[in-house]
Structure 1
Amino acid sequence: MAKKSKKTTKRSGKASGLGGWRLFHTVLVVLGVLILIVAAIGLYEPLQKWLAPAPPPLQVAPIPRAEARPPAAKVLRAEIEHELERWGVPRAGLRSLPEGTPGYQVAADYPGQARCSDLAVRLSALSPVVRVERDVENGRVMVYWRERTLFQLHFLPPKPSRPGKVRVAIIVDDLGRDLAVAERLLAIKAALTFSILPGEAHAHEVAVRAHRRGREVLIHLPMEPEGFPEVNPGADALLVAQNLQDVRIRYNSYRQRVPYAVGGNNHMGSRYTADRAAMQRILELLHEDGLFFIDSRTTPNSVAMDEARALGLAVAGRDLFLDNEADVAKITAQINKLAKLAQRRGQAIGICHPHPETVTALARVVPQLRRHGIEIVAVSALLEGSGGR
């Protein structure tokens, strides 16, 4: 009996051991199923997105380029009004032009080139193809988009000058190369202004002869142009990269080569006159010597007159080039245009060069100007705000 009982005990122990393993196995299966269920739930949405068909590509309307259309009229008008306020023109000084003509009649004097350049920079932020042009003869500033007129500013007509007070200054640039040409110009009985390039062979002699014959002498200051060095203003030109000491050395050499100079104007200089720091350097030296500056306006971006005013330096700007085309008839027409401008404004400044055609035109036209009450004066008589020297 005892042996049987021992066998029974062994079997029951074996059974309980098998039952434990089965329970453990069941628990593992259940946990595995639960894990699979949780994983399936987590992967359902990503799988659904992965298996779903791709959506059609988003259709984005092309953004029009800034220059594809003109700026909105209201925005353009507001920017122009803000710029006019900066010039000191209040809203009360603006009157709309007749219906159909976008623009203002402005109760202010006609602006200089520097102010128009500031307006152009402001409006270029609206569209890079907006441009500002001066119509000096008609007293207008025009705003264009491509070839379309967007806006006009009509300024007050100048006060009529007193009889005998219509004055014109004519500067002859690039002198000093040819003594014979200088003599032909000195033979014209008029107060032409002689602007002499300091690097020319006969610069000193032309300055001496002009002074002895009562003509005003300027230094034709060679300055760095756009396109330098391919466009060359001369071996001793003023360059934007030069410091004050470099500029002083060159300026002093100009003074020695061109005696009797009372002022200067720029030869080329489209880059130099647009650089504020560069212009400050040369204008300070002119100011130290009591000389004035005439801006030849070889670029619409010139800051020369603004910087001269800031220094308290006497200054003026060129109104017309007279001989862009070396043709006697066309030069004559430009001189007459300068005279009409002077009759409207009381004074005007023209610049020309010692071409044979120019000398011929001047010799013919200057006597006629005098007969019409227009006085040819040295340019120092027309300096801004000076009333002459």
Structure 2
Amino acid sequence: MSLNDREIDRPLGQGTKGRGSRKLNLTLNSVLSTVVALVILGSSTAIALRERPFRHPAPVAVATVEPAENGTESDATSARTVEAGSSDAPAEAPSQPSGGPRILKVQPGDNPGQGAIVIRDPSALGQNLRVAHLPDRDLIEESDTGPLPVRAADGRRPFDVYARPWSGARGARVAIVLGGLAISQTGTQAAIEKLPAEITLAFSPQGNSIDRWMQAARRKGHEIVMQVPLEPYDYPNVDPGKNTLTTEASAQENVGKLNWALSRTTNYTGIMNFMGARFSADAEAMQPLFADLGKRGLLYLDDGSSARSVAPELALKNGVPFAAADATLDANRERGEIMKKLDELERTARAKGFAIGIGSAFGETVDAVSAWVSEARKRGMEIVPISALAIDPER
């Protein structure tokens, strides 16, 4: 066959000249295309798999709570998986058992299997509101008279753990404390049911079924304090009740009487005086009381009835969180007069930033306070628990 015949048999456009270079160019182009495709595929995969802040919420802390033995299974279950930041989660983190710094597992909401370990300051942890009626066993000291409040081994105080959360805003704030709970069964039930959760309730150690009423109040979200009877002038003609602390008693006797009152129930942030104009003016008599409160991590609320009270100075000296009332709301139990006192309390709060009112859980007081709180909120007033307005020497 001639050369021209071989040319006819070749595909159109191909010749013998430059054949090897064209094959090399085709091979390089194929490799380059493959590499580019792999790079694009890898980049797309990385982008698809990476975490995007605008797609995923911030990690939510999931912690566990060990409820007291008398808690129900439903209480324990609800406390076991509380997601901070969920719409129905309480504002507080669960309290943790004692024994040093707490380790919490932080889990992303979309992928619970991938979590990180963070260490939290235990003193910053309050009690989960879903189990607020259950005592924190790390804050209990057993005694002959019953369970006594005590600081936990990790430094947490009842004042911190049992405090009701609030916004922390700097606006005008009012705290209202109503006492005499557990004296009248029907009155106590009405107060717990009708009063807004922000109202602090004070329990009388002379009352009945205090543990039951404490749990009912805490389930409703109320912060609570214990009333302690102190010697008034003209004692015993004016008698605050059983185990009144007196100026004539020894320090040991008075601390024993105080501990009796403290052991009547638990889950409270501190105490407030019941009467006590004479006792509260005697620094020597008051010092053992404040030393015990400081050791236990409890607040002292002064009802403000005595200008001679030495409580502010002793609270600072002994590291006791302290608050003093600005007004008694129901010295006159007529509804209109109570409303006037509440309005005065609001004016005080707007003038100095906060105000504290105290009263008793009379039906008239409960109804007036409930109505006033509803209207005060609309005027931008924040109602806070008493712990929110206490001066705390440890902070």
Q: Which amino acid is the alignment partner of residue 187 of structure 2?
A: V
Counterpart position of 1:284: 291
Note the C-alpha offset of 1:369.
0.7
Match of 1:243 among 246, 250, 275: 250
User: What secondary structure is seen at the aligned counterpart in 1 of 2:294?
Assistant: helix
CA contact (8 A) 2:354 2:389 kept: yes
Note the C-alpha offset of 1:232.
0.4
Tell me whether 1:262 sits opposite 2:263 in the alignment: no
Counterpart position of 2:214: 207
User: What secondary structure is seen at the aligned counterpart in 2 of 1:350?
Assistant: strand
Instruction: Report the more deviating stretch, 240-249 or 213-222.
Output: 240-249
Tell me whether 1:337 sits opposite 2:344 in the alignment: yes
Tell me whether 1:175 sits opposite 2:181 in the alignment: yes
CA contact (8 A) 1:269 1:298 kept: no
Q: Which amino acid is the alignment partner of residue 349 of structure 1?
A: I
Please list, as runs of the form range in 1=range in 2, the aligned pairs for 1:211-360 lying within 5 A after superposition. Answer: 211-360=218-367
Note the C-alpha offset of 1:262.
1.1
Aligned sequence identity (%) = 30
Post-superposition CA distance 1:214-257 (Å, at most 9, x none) = 21111101000001010001021111122222122222221221
User: What secondary structure is seen at the aligned counterpart in 2 of 1:360?
Assistant: helix
Match of 1:196 among 172, 188, 203: 203
CA contact (8 A) 1:341 1:348 kept: yes
Q: Which amino acid is the alignment partner of residue 335 of structure 2?
A: V
Note the C-alpha offset of 1:298.
2.3
Q: Which amino acid is the alignment partner of residue 278 of structure 2?
A: R
User: What secondary structure is seen at the aligned counterpart in 2 of 1:246?
Assistant: helix
Structure 1: where are the runs of 5+ without partners? 1-161
The whole-number CA distance in structure 2 between the counterparts of 1:376 and 1:185 is 17
Q: Which amino acid is the alignment partner of residue 271 of structure 1?
A: R
CA contact (8 A) 1:176 1:204 kept: no
Counterpart position of 1:367: 374
Note the C-alpha offset of 1:386.
6.5
Q: Which amino acid is the alignment partner of residue 217 of structure 1?
A: I
The whole-number CA distance in structure 2 between the counterparts of 1:360 and 1:213 is 17
CA contact (8 A) 1:347 1:382 kept: yes
Q: Which amino acid is the alignment partner of residue 261 of structure 2?
A: Y
Q: Which amino acid is the alignment partner of residue 371 of structure 2?
A: R
Counterpart position of 2:125: none
The whole-number CA distance in structure 2 between the counterparts of 1:293 and 1:283 is 8
* TM-score relative to the length of structure 1: 0.56
After the TM superposition, which segments of 4 or more aligned residues of structure 1 sit over 3 Å from their partners? Answer: none
Structure 2: where are the runs of 5+ without partners? 1-167
**Count of aligned positions:** 227
User: Structure 1 287/164 Cα, relative in aligned 2: closer, same or farther at 3 Å?
Assistant: closer
CA contact (8 A) 1:264 1:292 kept: yes
CA contact (8 A) 2:247 2:285 kept: yes
Note the C-alpha offset of 1:339.
0.8
Post-superposition CA distance 1:68-110 (Å, at most 9, x none) = xxxxxxxxxxxxxxxxxxxxxxxxxxxxxxxxxxxxxxxxxxx
The whole-number CA distance in structure 2 between the counterparts of 1:289 and 1:239 is 21
The whole-number CA distance in structure 2 between the counterparts of 1:185 and 1:298 is 24
Note the C-alpha offset of 1:202.
3.4
* TM-score relative to the length of structure 2: 0.55
Q: Which has the higher helix share?
A: 1
Please give the root-mean-square deviation of Cα atoms over the aligned residues, in Å.
1.9
CA contact (8 A) 1:196 1:258 kept: no
